[in-house]
């Protein structure tokens, strides 16, 4: 940690939105972190300043060739007034894996976490305290070189912005309806699916738009090669409980290695609930539904926490899961995860860090 953070704090603080009016990702705290990269010079110019627009050349690589990566994590307020982060080291590790795939220079993971903590300390009063609310944290890196040739940029900007977010389940945990996408593809092996890179999300917009228009909350993506194997859902990994065993797609190179996914696998193991990571044909889920062994379906992700799935629709039919009710294991995972994140349960895994 040889960087110094220049702090140019603002004295004009923004009004805060009441917790019950918080949505997702529309309001931002008073400050942001930024740091620049220049070929030959490396990462430098670490700063915490007022949250404000940035200036970019119209020829900046990120605007043309999508050379950009991001992360998403949350800070949680405990009843005791402490602030907890959930496995933030994993986010910066994954950011560097995304960097590697997108030819973006690695960041110093330890320094990034230090910078995040400094920023959080300054905007500490932005962490909402009502049940289920949190402060969403978005680290991201964009290529800023003003050059239209298609090649890795020589200049980058690493930023962290933060947004207070409402409870995903303000109206209770209601199982969602999902549409299985059989035409559009989010990512394919050899592509960037494993990275948290813009292109995957840009590619997913069309399918999501069609799903939303038909009343589905999310899209279930199938593999890009055969359109047969389950990949993941919008911004969640997916799990199925079949005949007492929990299964989830293996990390095959085209899905995101979710940190919630990894955590839930560990919780399941700690409770001696059988869990398997492997290739899963969508037809297998259909069969399990038909023979009555499909017990639960749920998604895992930082934004949506644990999200029960109550209905799956595909071209040839539909599946009702657990009569549209949240399942036992899903509920247990939700309680365990949020319990640890909000400091209500003992963190036996050592996942949280205190600010």
Ligand X SMILES: Cc1ncc(COP(=O)(O)O)c(C=O)c1O
Residue ranges that bind a copy of itself, judged by CB under 8 A = 24-26, 28, 32, 51, 53-59, 62-68, 70, 101-103, 136, 138, 140, 142, 146-152, 159, 161, 163, 183-192, 197-206, 208-209, 212, 224-227, 234-235
The encoded tokens of residue 195 equal 């990275």
Nearest of 176, 196, 205, 206 to residue 322 by alpha carbon: 176
What phi and psi, each to the nearest 5 degrees, are found at residue 60?
A: -55, 135
Nearer to ligand X, 164 or 301 (CB): 301
* Cβ atoms of 196 and 98 closer than 8 Å: yes
Cα R_g (the chain), whole angstroms: 21
- In angstroms, give the least distance from the CB of 78 to a copy of itself: 24
Exactly one of 236, 275, 294, 333 binds ligand X (CB under 6 A); that residue is: 236
Under rule CB under 6 A, residue 302 binds ligand X = yes
The set of residues, in sequence order, having a beta carbon less than 8 Å from that of 257 and lying 6+ positions away, is 94, 97, 194, 251
- In angstroms, give the least distance from the CB of 164 to a copy of itself: 12
Strands 31-38 and 155-165: antiparallel
Exactly one of 259, 286, 305, 333 binds ligand X (CB under 6 A); that residue is: 259
Under rule CB under 6 A, residue 256 binds ligand X = yes
- In angstroms, give the least distance from the CB of 109 to ligand X: 16
Bridge partners of residue 70, in order along the sequence: 140
- In angstroms, give the least distance from the CB of 237 to ligand X: 5
Residue 237 interface partner, choices a copy of itself, ligand X, none, CB cut-off 5-8 Å depending on type: ligand X
Residue 55 interface partner, choices a copy of itself, ligand X, none, CB cut-off 5-8 Å depending on type: a copy of itself
The set of residues, in sequence order, having a beta carbon less than 8 Å from that of 281 and lying 6+ positions away, is 228, 229, 230
- In angstroms, give the least distance from the CB of 300 to ligand X: 6
Tally Cβ neighbours within 10 Å of residue 1. Answer: 9
């Amino acid at each position: 940690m040889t960087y110094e953070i220049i702090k140019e704090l603002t004295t004009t603080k923004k009004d805060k939105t009441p917790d019950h009016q918080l949505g997702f990702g529309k309001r931002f705290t008073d400050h942001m972190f930024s740091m620049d990269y220049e070929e030959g010079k490396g990462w430098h110019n670490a700063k915490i300043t007022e949250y404000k627009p940035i200036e970019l050349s119209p020829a900046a690589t990120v605007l043309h060739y999508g050379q950009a990566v991001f992360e998403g994590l949350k800070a949680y307020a405990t009843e005791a007034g402490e602030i907890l982060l959930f496995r933030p080291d994993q986010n910066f590790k994954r950011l560097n894996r995304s960097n590697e795939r997108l030819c973006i220079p690695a960041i110093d993971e330890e320094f990034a976490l230090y910078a995040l903590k400094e920023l959080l300390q300054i905007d500490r009063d932005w962490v909402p305290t009502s049940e289920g609310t949190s402060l969403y944290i978005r680290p991201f890196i964009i290529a800023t070189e003003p050059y239209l040739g298609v090649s890795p940029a020589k200049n980058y900007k690493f930023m962290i912005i933060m947004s207070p977010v409402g409870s995903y389940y303000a109206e209770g945990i209601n199982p969602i309806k999902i549409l299985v996408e059989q035409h559009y593809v989010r990512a394919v092996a050899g592509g960037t699916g494993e990275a948290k890179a813009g292109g995957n999300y840009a590619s997913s917009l069309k399918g999501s738009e069609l799903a939303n228009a038909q009343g589905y909350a999310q899209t279930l993506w199938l593999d890009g090669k055969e359109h047969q194997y389950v990949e993941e859902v919008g911004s969640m990994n997916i799990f199925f409980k079949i005949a007492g065993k929990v299964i989830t797609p293996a990390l095959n190179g085209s899905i995101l290695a979710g940190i919630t996914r990894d955590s839930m696998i560990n919780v399941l193991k700690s409770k001696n609930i059988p869990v398997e990571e492997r290739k899963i044909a969508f037809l297998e889920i259909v069969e399990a539904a038909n023979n009555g062994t499909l017990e639960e379906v749920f998604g895992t992700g930082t934004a949506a926490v644990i999200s029960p799935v109550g209905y799956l629709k595909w071209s040839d039919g539909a599946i009702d899961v657990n009569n549209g009710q949240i399942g036992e294991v899903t509920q247990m995972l939700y309680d365990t995860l949020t319990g640890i994140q909000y400091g209500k349960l003992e963190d036996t895994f050592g996942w949280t860090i205190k600010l």
